[in-house]
Structure 1
Amino acid sequence: MEQKLIGILLNAAAHRGVPQGRTGWESLARYEEAADAYGLTPCYLKLSDIDPASGYSAAYIKGPQGYKRVVIPIPQVIHNRAIYPPGNTGTQRLAARGVKVFNRRSRYGKDEIHRLLSLNPELLRHLPGTEAGSKGLRRMMEQYSDLILKPRRGSIGKGIMRLRREDQEGWVLDYLYKGRMVTVNIDPSKLPHALLRRMDAGSYLIQERIPLAEAGGRPFDLRVTVQRGWGGDWAVTGLFAKLAPPGGFVSNIARGGEAVQASYVLDQAFPARAAAHYRMSAASLSLAVAHCLESSLPGLADIGLDIGLTRDGQLFFIECNGRDQRYGFYKAGLPEVWKDSYRRPMGYARYLLEGGAER
């Protein structure tokens, strides 16, 4: 019986580790379990091994003696789990050949996502105030007393800074350096040239800092995984909370944040009925974001959204992650949801193989 292959496109580093099963938090076992449920066989690819001209690619496929490198026809459907620098057109070239590549791009500029969402009047109220450049920084300092400076591109919280007013005269800049928090006093009339240069280089956005709800004195936001599955429709696979470390302002797990079950922190921060309402509202907002973005981002099918919730119950969109780090569910003690986050994309892959239209 002919195998129905589904390509899993990995970055070179993760791909090198496939024979030994050392792919970090990309769980090969979960891919294989999920693919098997839909009658599929996963094959692990890297972009440089794919030859669109010939129609063939090298790939790793698991057999009785472990992973074997073989040459196969380019799979008809590929799930992109790799991150490429801006300007790389590898997945677009595959799509132009008729290969159905979902999550064609896995990293988007934060300014690009903000711009697309701001065109939707219903989502505009869920977006934090945002500017760019040194002039934008000064405007934001006049309007808000607490700001987040974040790289336009990048992930896991790297490079994020907080700029906050300490009193009528002075401001304070907080940032992580070698795993510890550094605090620097800032004179607003003489902003450091290094900071202004960084803003004017176009690599940073300036946003109002959302006064996040707290659990045990620690701010938290919600990671909501939204994916297409069998049938091609969007659904919320699950959500968990990311707690900032004590005294910190960045909730990313890789920067010291803690993944916990959403119900745990929501029940600490709000009465039971309100906690349930906010959980459902975060899921509804995440679905609305996915539906808004799909019309402008071809192949979008698997995203993780960071949703902020204020102490008075306002919901804010914070960030879209095109390569959702699914291990947060595992760390939060939600192993079945972790498995579901692999199953749903495999259901979508089978749907596409059966002739379903890319949405």
Structure 2
Amino acid sequence: MNGDQVKTPTLGITVCKTRGTPPFHETAYFKQLTREGQKLGIRVIVFCPKDVDWARRSVSAWRYSVRRGQWIAACYPLPMLIYDRCYYSNTRHYLEYKPYVNKLATDPQIRLLGRPLGGKWQTYTFLAEDPDLRPHLPETRCLTTMQDLYTILGRYRSAVIKPNGGSHGQGVAAILPGKDGIRVRGRTRSNQTFDHRLANRSQMEQWISRFTHGSRYVVQPYLPLCTKDGRPFDVRILMQKGERGDWVQTGMAVRVGKPQTLTSNLHGGGKAVKAEAFFSRHYAPELRTHILEKLQWLSTQVPIRIESRHGRMVEVGLDVGVDPQGRVWLLEVNSKPGRSVFLLTGEKEIRRRSIELPMRYARALLDGQVGGSL
């Protein structure tokens, strides 16, 4: 490491290793962060938490050279500011990385751009404490025993089970009892759609045990969050910190799935459309106004509520469902949101701003212009 490497303000991005060169996902996004960082005098490096040399406080990392158009591996001082973009495929994967990530998060010389959230259950428990937010939260239980599932089925007739960690719609299944047995449909962990008929509860329990094996799950009511022609949809709202440390809504778009599928995720073949155009097409004017007002209200309240309990955040993605009666449901809060939805809607300016804001916030933190707890 030379003197310039030590002096240069640096944002480190943590990732889970994959196969390939460079050995991580989201390379296009990290290239864009690098270009934005250049304008602000910030170097961006990408590394795996397992590759930190704590004795030397250095790390083997990758840096994208804009001039050369390629990724370069080198050793750098351990950055003082870190942006967590680690994605875990299951509980085992998460536990494998947990000690390394925790060591970074608890080091007194390191600041996190924002603390990653826990799973769906942890997020639900503290959001449900807010009486104003609670009506917008589907009842959620940890799927610890089959009785948790039967409790939801007893109250709502149908249920959906989801991995406690982020899933892109993968590993999600709807449980739909009927006169001729039980229907289970959804997506596998490898993103394959399925639709099975099970004869009885015993078969259902065996199937769920295999399906959820090795991962923590939650169970919720199955809500009819789809268009009149059977296309599932949800609203992605991206909230980010600006350079002054205040929350701003970067963008809002609707993700629409294929007819008769369970989820609207883009990874599962869904498409993205602009929010106002979608609601104008599918809802009457008064109901549309009510829905959009509720979406705006949730976007302002949820980040503040989460941050008050969880610690500093840099961005959150809110996934919101709307039922045929216009009731608005907060389905998920993601501390590591994607941005591709805005490219697919053609809103390139929103996409550009979604990359610019985290870097401006990082610059403000490096300069001491915004504070907040670690």
**Taking structure 1 as the reference length, what is the TM-score of the superposition?**
0.87
Aligned pairs (5 A) from 1:1-359: 3-13=8-18, 16-17=21-22, 23-24=25-26, 26-63=28-65, 64-65=67-68, 66-83=70-87, 85-86=94-95, 88-95=98-105, 96-105=107-116, 108-131=118-141, 132=143, 133-167=145-179, 170-176=181-187, 179-188=192-201, 190=202, 192-195=204-207, 197=209, 203-214=216-227, 216-272=229-285, 274-355=287-368, 356-358=370-372
Q: Distance in 2 between matches of 1:271 and 1:39?
A: 49
Q: CA deviation at 1:279?
A: 2.9
Kindly indicate whether the alpha-carbon contact (under 8 Å) linking 1:100 and 1:358 is maintained by their aligned counterparts in 2: no
Q: Distance in 1 between matches of 2:155 and 2:200?
A: 17
Question: When the two structures are aligned, how many residues end up with a matched partner?
Answer: 353
Kindly indicate whether the alpha-carbon contact (under 8 Å) linking 1:91 and 1:101 is maintained by their aligned counterparts in 2: no
Q: CA deviation at 1:219?
A: 2.4
One-letter identity of the residue aligned with 1:59: A
Partner-residue secondary structure (3-state), 2:104: helix
* Residues 1:52 and 1:291: Cα distance change in structure 2 (over 3 Å): farther
Q: Distance in 1 between matches of 2:306 and 2:273?
A: 28
One-letter identity of the residue aligned with 2:72: K
Partner-residue secondary structure (3-state), 1:231: coil
Partner-residue secondary structure (3-state), 1:232: coil
What do you get for the CA RMSD once the two structures are aligned? 2.8
| Residue range with higher mean Cα deviation, 3-12 or 177-186 | 177-186
Q: Distance in 1 between matches of 2:206 and 2:28?
A: 37
Partner-residue secondary structure (3-state), 1:125: helix
Q: Distance in 1 between matches of 2:49 and 2:111?
A: 15
Q: Distance in 2 between matches of 1:157 and 1:70?
A: 36
Q: Distance in 2 between matches of 1:280 and 1:36?
A: 38
Q: CA deviation at 1:346?
A: 0.7
Q: Distance in 1 between matches of 2:198 and 2:310?
A: 41
Partner-residue secondary structure (3-state), 1:68: strand
Kindly indicate whether the alpha-carbon contact (under 8 Å) linking 2:59 and 2:76 is maintained by their aligned counterparts in 1: yes
- Give the share of equivalent positions with the same residue, in percent: 24
Kindly indicate whether the alpha-carbon contact (under 8 Å) linking 2:239 and 2:316 is maintained by their aligned counterparts in 1: yes
Kindly indicate whether the alpha-carbon contact (under 8 Å) linking 1:108 and 1:153 is maintained by their aligned counterparts in 2: yes
Q: CA deviation at 1:201?
A: 7.9
One-letter identity of the residue aligned with 1:357: G
Q: Which runs of 5+ in 2 are unaligned?
A: 89-93
Q: Distance in 1 between matches of 2:283 and 2:166?
A: 32
Q: Which runs of 5+ in 1 are unaligned?
A: none
Q: Distance in 2 between matches of 1:276 and 1:38?
A: 40
One-letter identity of the residue aligned with 2:157: S
Q: Distance in 2 between matches of 1:315 and 1:25?
A: 34
Give CA deviations for 1:119-138 in whole Å, capped at 9, x if unaligned. 11111111112233311211
One-letter identity of the residue aligned with 1:73: P
Q: CA deviation at 1:160?
A: 0.9
* Residues 1:89 and 1:122: Cα distance change in structure 2 (over 3 Å): farther
Q: CA deviation at 1:162?
A: 0.8
One-letter identity of the residue aligned with 1:129: E
Q: Which has the higher contact order (CA 8 A, sep 6+)?
A: 1
Q: Distance in 1 between matches of 2:170 and 2:354?
A: 25
Kindly indicate whether the alpha-carbon contact (under 8 Å) linking 1:14 and 1:24 is maintained by their aligned counterparts in 2: no
